[in-house]
């Protein structure tokens, strides 16, 4: 009997046959896939709830940040050390609180801020460079109260951030407390 060799298969031009699972996935695997998909969607929603309002809070206008420093003691002179953005003087207001050790208080609300003006016969704002904005080098002068035990607080607000908030609040763009 003659010896026969196996025949070679012809290469098929057809695409590969798609994978077919013989048995469906177990219910636990299906549940796990659904739960992980739901957790991913929930995570994206939570990220949106947290970060979208922060991004939209001020629109395109970010509020300024002022750094204040005490440079004189009698009278008390507070200087603007730096300002992050130039805004017109009319958009600012200042609030000065003077508190005695026995609890008596004096409050001065300067609204709106104007260059080279004195309020209540006490608080003076000087726009040293005359540019019409609160910028580095501008000064607030506060005459000290007679006697000892007085503490002072100067808070500066901008209409971009505070929208009429009542001091004290964390919305001040610049704040300085000093004895």
Domain coordinates in residue numbering, the chain: 25-57, 66-178
Q: Is the pLDDT of residue 35 over 80?
A: yes
Chain segment 64-113, per-residue pLDDT in tens: 899 999 987 778 899 999 999 888 888 888 888 888 888 888 888 887 88
Which is more confident, 103 or 38? Answer: 38
CATH number belonging to domain 66-178: 2.60.40
Which is more confident, 105 or 42? Answer: 42
When the pLDDT of each residue in the chain is averaged and rounded to a whole number, the result is 83
> Among residues of the chain, what percentage have pLDDT more than 90?
23
Query: Which two tokens mark 159?
Result: 């209409």
Q: What is the CA radius of gyration of the chain?
A: 35
Query: Which two tokens mark 167?
Result: 């001091």
- The confidence band for 60, taking pLDDT boundaries of 50, 70 and 90, is low
Element (H, E) at 177: strand 174-178
**Closest by alpha carbon to 131, among 83, 96, 61, 95?**
83
Q: Can you give the pLDDT at residue 172?
A: 83
- The confidence band for 178, taking pLDDT boundaries of 50, 70 and 90, is confident
Q: Can you give the pLDDT at residue 81?
A: 94
């Amino acid at each position: 009997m003659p010896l026969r060799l196996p025949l070679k298969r012809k290469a098929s031009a057809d695409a590969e046959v798609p994978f077919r699972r013989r048995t469906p996935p177990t219910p636990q695997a299906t549940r796990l896939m659904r739960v992980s998909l739901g957790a991913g969607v929930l995570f994206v929603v939570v990220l949106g709830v947290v970060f979208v309002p922060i991004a939209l809070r001020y629109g395109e206008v970010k509020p300024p940040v002022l750094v204040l420093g005490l440079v004189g003691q009698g009278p008390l002179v507070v200087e603007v050390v730096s300002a992050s953005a130039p805004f017109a003087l009319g958009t600012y207001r200042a609030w000065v609180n003077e508190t005695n050790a026995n609890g008596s208080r004096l409050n001065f609300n300067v609204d709106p801020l104007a260059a080279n003006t004195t309020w209540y016969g006490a608080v003076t704002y000087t726009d040293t460079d005359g540019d019409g904005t609160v910028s580095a080098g501008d000064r607030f002068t506060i005459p000290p109260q007679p006697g000892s035990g007085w503490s002072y607080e100067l808070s500066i607000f901008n209409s971009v951030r505070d929208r009429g908030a009542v001091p004290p609040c964390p919305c001040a763009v610049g704040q300085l407390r000093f004895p």
